[in-house]
Structure 1
Amino acid sequence: MARLLGSSNPVLNERSDEITPLLGKQEDESAPPQCCSARCNLAALMFFGFAVVYGLRVNLSVAMVAMVNGTNAQPSSNSSEEQGCPSSGPSLNGSSSSEQAGGAPRYPWDSATQGYLLGAFFFGYLVTQIPGGYLAGHLGGRIFLGGGVLGTAGLTLLTPLAAGLGVPWLFALRALEGFGEGVTFPAMMAMWARWAPPLERSSLISFSGAGASCGAFLALPLTGFICHNLGWPAVFYCCGGGGCLWAVFWFCLVTDEPQSHPRISKRERDYIVNSIGSQGSAHGWKVPVLPMLLSVPLWAIIISQMCANWSYYTLLTSLPIYMDTVLHFNLQQNGFLSALPYLGGGLFSMLSGVMADKLLERKLLSVTAVRKIFTLTGLLLPAAFLAAMGFVGCNQSLAVIFLTVSSTIGGTSAAGVFVNQIDIAPRYAGMLLGITNTFGTIPGVVAPIAVGYFTKDSQHLLLGWRNVFLVSAAVSAAGALIFTIFGSGKVQRWTLSDNDDGTEGSGRAG
């Protein structure tokens, strides 16, 4: 697709529509320490915010195992039982009612219905990405990030009621939750466009975004524990209450920009404002839509993010089902082992952000080279382990190891394609993330449905899940290749306002 947009040699050529990023301005600036700084406190609040966001997003994945009556989700009679893994003990679907407390209801949802319910969130999530990014870039991201989490948390409290009313009600509720949560990531990027000095972008954004992995890591085992001890409805009450509590701290402590922050030091405020320059200002109501549509680097982000998200959302929504129906882990083991890959992914995403900023600060590599290296590492290597997952058979240990290593290495892409929007268009970073996340959410809708299709007649068999892992690996590898060829770290000329002189950086470009 990028070739159709007019790039004759897109790898590392100097293009006439690009300029260098704003790195040179900080060479003579003395950066105030990050410890206890306003920008570090903002990153910490975002970290916990996205932990809550992902807790709200993934709670249904594990709770689904406890909500479904297993006798109605068995494979068809013509399935080849000899291809399945033997159960080493009682699984959830064959367990007694003591597996979960409180006499919580169970529902006769087959694998296809489960896939649609797990994907329902992303139908709403698609709708608000671009409007959220656009409005956050113009009005500020505080109200959109905080309001998105608060609204989603409130709706989560209604999940047990919706499930009791029927599948259409639960589907609609999950879609509304996605609608509210869709503004959160674009709002985050819009805020960092005003708060993050160029040489700290990778670490600040990667750290705040790592809250998502932390949220998944904590939510998955806690969901299993709560289901077992309190019943699955308590999962949604706890997650919803946590989101409402976080929103109180967010609205009390956060401002849209450093100039209006009541507790920031003058040194830190001047450092942030001077290092970012005019690119940290809000954009107007008019945006350069046509140049965006014709931007090869933007399409490289879009396609690569879609490819990366395919495997991510496949694991996020369907891994607990694989752990239950194929590997036969019990409910509490399922929650912990499904969460383990996200611990490594979160740690590696934070580490990769620090490493990327160090490489840029010391001018060892260009911005483009840094983004491509971390993207290639974070997509191609995990793809190899995902492909191997299709052939581990019933070896539980190998399955857990391969999944954990794949997701851990995948965390390095946080300093690559997932932060690249703010490199190429700082002023429009929120809107660009809304655009890329809109396309990147499509796998969230399609992947659970595809898993349901692959495993429809053989959910307890290895062949269907082998296809799931091989498709995910192929898609991830394609994303790595596309970004390596067409990606860029240069500020695009169409992002400059009339007041910009086009020479805002003297640092190395790539």
Structure 2
Amino acid sequence: MATMVELSPTGEQSDYVLGKPTDKKTPPQKVPGLCSVRYGIAFITHFCNFTLLAQNAIISITMVAMVNSTDHAPHLNGSSEELPAGLNGDKHEEASKHLSVKAPVYNWSPQTQGIIFSSVQYGMVLMQGPGGYLAGKIGTKKLVGIALIGSSLLTLCIPPAANLGLAYLLATRAIQGLMQGTGYGGQMALWQRWAPPNERGRLCSIALSGMILGIFTVLLVGGVISNSLGWPFVFYIFGGIGVVCWILWLILVYDDPVSHPWIGDPEKEYILSSLDHQFSSEEQPLPVKGMLRSLPLWSMSLCALTHQWLVNTFVIYTPTYISSVFQVNIRDNGFLSSLPFLVAWTIGMLGGQLADFLLSKNFSVVTVRKIVTTLGTIPPATLIVALPYVRSSFITTVTFLTLSCGICPMSQPGVYINALDIAPRYASFLMGTSRGFAHSSAVLVPIVGGFFLNQDSEFGWRNFFFLSFAISLFGLILFLVFGKADVQEWARERKVTRL
């Protein structure tokens, strides 16, 4: 049964009918809660993010099958705890021989693998800001639709590109990154028009959690598909899923409540009235100088960058770390690597509920944003540092990995949606730009990780994890000191005088 939200007109606030203010006051109405169009938009965006990040992360699990692991044998330090049955090195070698019959295997060094990992991320960095800006110009529905079908078709092209040569593979993934960056940045414009302030945490968390579900699904089934059909079929299957998602997106998503053909008048009025006075009555140029001088904006962007460094460490290196330490076969690696992201998906969905619950208990917005960001940073960063010291225990290692990765999404209703607080008028551009800036960590993490691991496997992991801890802590401190949640002066509507 649908939950309902009470809508009461306030003193001097105008009511809205079809997006236009009227002077007539209406009695309190009930509008749909969970079973509503705005939540439907959030869940479709969840599926969109699932698709885009699954296509982005496929290679994290298939890389175990794509490379000739005998050329880069991991350095083990004599585990004192015997691995569970089925996770031993003999079966790993047997599976590798079995996979090489079904699909080609390449001799890529750890540094080359790092370059392949990062190649898709350049476009993600470059296009999220422009994507948010373009969505405000041509519409989110059209822009994200183009990004979805483009990324999906390029996913289907990756196996033949790898067969043609490393340069073709890198070029394909780079173009795919442009598509995915446009999709991520473009979708941010939805929440300017669809998310009432008191529901931003849960709606944005639902949408953003699709990214985590995408990683979980790829890691869970990617190893099984690689083991049974060969690694190219992982790309073919998720490329096909992307085409289905593109069709659903075109049918079900609209840019704003006014243009949606199936939304009821009570819900439309509720959304539009809650967003009253947040947008310019006429188009105004971006206040670039004000943005560049804004400490709250810089602290938000840098904190997002450093937190994404931690997240990308898990996304890119969880399968590789498990393979390096325990030499598990690809099927079991997929199951073990996906477990942290199942926990992360659950916590990501609950994090938005927590944030909105705290707001309902009269916590200030800035306090809520900082609390959830801290919860999503300190525990994961601490646990990841401990990983090299518990590698002798299989159970403890998997537990620490699961908890550290699982708690990270608690920051989603914190620093990642802070632009809706400090500059709602320019939120799509700023959320896209800050996420694009944060995504530069996805380029740097595999390069830095490849450098450390190429020198020494055992101490390389330890040094790499310590660096991740220090970077995450630095960004969090900046946000705690300089972060704000009130609309900044440069983001307020300016009066335009005409001569």
- Fold shared by both chains (TM-score > 0.5): yes
Q: Look up the match of 1:373.
A: 371
Q: In the aligned structure 2, how far is the partner of 1:465 from the partner of 1:91?
A: 24
Q: 1:63 to 1:493 in 2, by over 3 A?
A: same
Tell me which residue corresponds to 1:434.
432
1:489 matched residue in structure 2: 485
* Separation (CA, whole Å) in 2 of partners of 1:48 and 1:283: 33
Q: Within the alignment, does 1:390 sit opposite 2:388 as a pair? A: yes
Q: 2 CA distance for matches of 1:82 and 1:496? A: 58
Distance 1:29 1:100, change over 3 A: farther
Aligned equivalents of 2:184, 2:360: Cα separation in 1: 26
User: Cα deviations across residues 235-285 of structure 1 (Å, max 9, x unaligned)?
Assistant: 100010100111001101111000010000001001101110142569837
CA distance in 1, matches of 2:161, 2:484: 45
1:158-217 CA-to-partner distances (Å, cap 9, x unmatched) read 001110011111111111111100022222221111011111001000111111111111
Aligned to 1:391, what secondary structure does the other structure show?
Answer: helix
SS in structure 1 at match of 2:390:
coil
Q: Distance in 1 between matches of 2:388 and 2:138?
A: 47
Distance in 2 between residues matched to 1:31 and 1:40, nearest whole Å: 16
Aligned to 2:33: 34
Match of 2:339 in 1: 340
Are 2:352 and 2:412, in contact at CA under 8 Å, matched by a contact in 1?
Answer: yes
1:232 Cα offset (Å): 0.4
Cα offset, 1:458, TM superposition: 3.0
1:271-286 equivalent positions in 2, closer than 5 A: 271-280=270-279, 284=283, 286=285
8 Å contact 2:127–2:185 — kept in the other structure?
no
Amino acid at match of 1:452: G
User: In 2, Cα distance between the equivalents of 1:352 and 1:127?
Assistant: 28
> After the TM superposition, which of the residue ranges 384-393 and 81-90 deviates more from structure 2?
81-90
What letter is aligned with 2:385? A
Q: Which residue does 2:190 correspond to in 1?
A: 191
User: Partners in 1 of 2:252 and 2:261 — Cα distance?
Assistant: 9
Pair 72,487 (structure 1): closer, same or farther in 2 beyond 3 Å: same
Give the fraction of aligned pairs with identical amino acids, expressed as a percent: 37
Q: Distance in 1 between matches of 2:112 and 2:174?
A: 15
Mapping 1:20-419, distance limit 5 Å: 32-74=31-73, 83=77, 85=79, 89-90=88-89, 94-97=93-96, 99-100=98-99, 103-280=102-279, 284=283, 286-362=285-361, 364-419=362-417
1:390: how far off? 2.6
Q: Deviations over 1:388-441 (max 9, x none)?
A: 113112321111111111122222111110111111111211110122112201
Q: Distance in 2 between matches of 1:99 and 1:85?
A: 26
Q: 1:428 to 1:326 in 2, by over 3 A?
A: same
Query: How far is the alpha carbon of 1:463 from its aligned partner?
Result: 1.5
**Which stretch of the first structure deviates more once superposed, 130-139 or 110-119?**
130-139
1:454-482: per-residue Cα shift (whole Å, max 9, x none)? Answer: 110433xx211111211112211222211
Secondary structure at 1:32 match in 2: strand
Q: Which structure 2 segments of 5+ residues have no match?
A: 1-9, 15-26
CA distance in 2, matches of 1:429, 1:440: 16
Name the residue aligned to 2:19: none
* Counterpart residue identity of residue 483, structure 1: F
CA apart distance, 1:496:
2.2
Distance 2:292 2:248 in 1: 38
CA contact (8 A) 2:341 2:406 kept: yes
Given that 2:76 and 2:325 are in contact with CA atoms closer than 8 Å, whether structure 1 keeps it comes out as: no
Give the whole-Å Cα distance in 2 for the aligned partners of 1:43 and 1:281.
25
How far apart in 2 are the matches of 1:296 and 1:29? 41
Q: Is the 8 A contact 1:65 1:92 kept in 2?
A: no
TM-score (norm 2): 0.89
- Contact persistence 2:344–2:407 (CA under 8 A): yes
Q: Distance in 2 between matches of 1:138 and 1:427?
A: 14
Output the CA distance in 1 between the equivalents of 2:45 and 2:252.
Answer: 12
Matches of 1:60 and 1:131, distance apart in 2: 26
Distance in structure 1 (CA, Å) of the matches to 2:316 and 2:28:
45
Q: Secondary structure at the match of 1:352?
A: helix
Give the AA of the match of 1:158. C
Instruction: Letter of the 1:355 partner, please give it.
Output: L
Could you say if the C-alpha distance between residues 31 and 343 of structure 1 is closer, same or farther in structure 2, counting changes exceeding 3 Å? Answer: farther
One-letter amino acid matched to 2:452: F
**Contact residue 154 and residue 172 of structure 2 kept, 8 A:** yes
Pair 1:30–1:379, CA change in 2 (3 A): farther
Query: Are residues 39 and 102 of structure 1, via their aligned partners in 2, closer, same or farther at CA, if it must alter by over 3 Å?
Result: farther
CA separation in 2, counterparts of 1:287 and 1:350? 33
For residues 96 and 316 of structure 1, the distance between their equivalents in structure 2, rounded to whole angstroms, comes to 23
Q: C-alpha separation between the residues in 2 aligned to 1:275 and 1:215?
A: 32
Q: Secondary structure at the match of 1:310?
A: helix
Contact (CA 8 Å) 2:301, 2:434: kept in 1 or not? Answer: yes
Q: Is the 8 A contact 1:133 1:434 kept in 2?
A: yes
Per-residue CA deviation, residues 81-133 of structure 1 (Å, 9 max, x unaligned), is 57465995226763355543862110010111001000111112112111111
Whether the 8 Å CA contact 1:190–1:428 is kept in 2: the answer is no
CA separation of 1:339/1:167 partners in 2, compared to 1, >3 Å: closer, same or farther? same
Mapped contact 1:220–1:339 kept (Cα < 8 A): yes
Distance 1:132-1:311 versus aligned 2 partners, 3 A rule: same
* 1:361 shift after superposition: 2.9
Higher relative CO (Cα under 8 Å, sequence separation at least 6) belongs to 1
Task: Provide Cα deviations, 1:271-329, integer angstroms capped at 9, x if missing partner.
Answer: 10111014256983721111111111110111101110111111111211111122222
Q: Tell me the secondary structure at the aligned position of residue 157 of structure 1.
A: helix
2:445 to 444, 447, 455: 447
Q: Distance in 2 between matches of 1:481 and 1:32?
A: 40
CA contact (8 A) 2:45 2:207 kept: yes
| 1:7 aligned partner | none
Between the aligned partners of 1:385 and 1:371, the Cα distance in structure 2 is 22
How many pairs does the alignment contain? 470
Could you tell me how far 1:491 is from its partner in structure 2?
A: 1.2
1:480 aligns with 2:476: yes
Equivalent residue number for residue 23 of structure 2: none
> What secondary structure sits across from 2:406 in the alignment?
helix
Task: Please tell me whether the aligned partners of residues 366 and 484 of structure 2 are also in contact (alpha carbons under 8 angstroms).
Answer: yes
Secondary structure of the residue aligned to 1:231 is coil
Residue 505 of structure 1: aligned partner: none
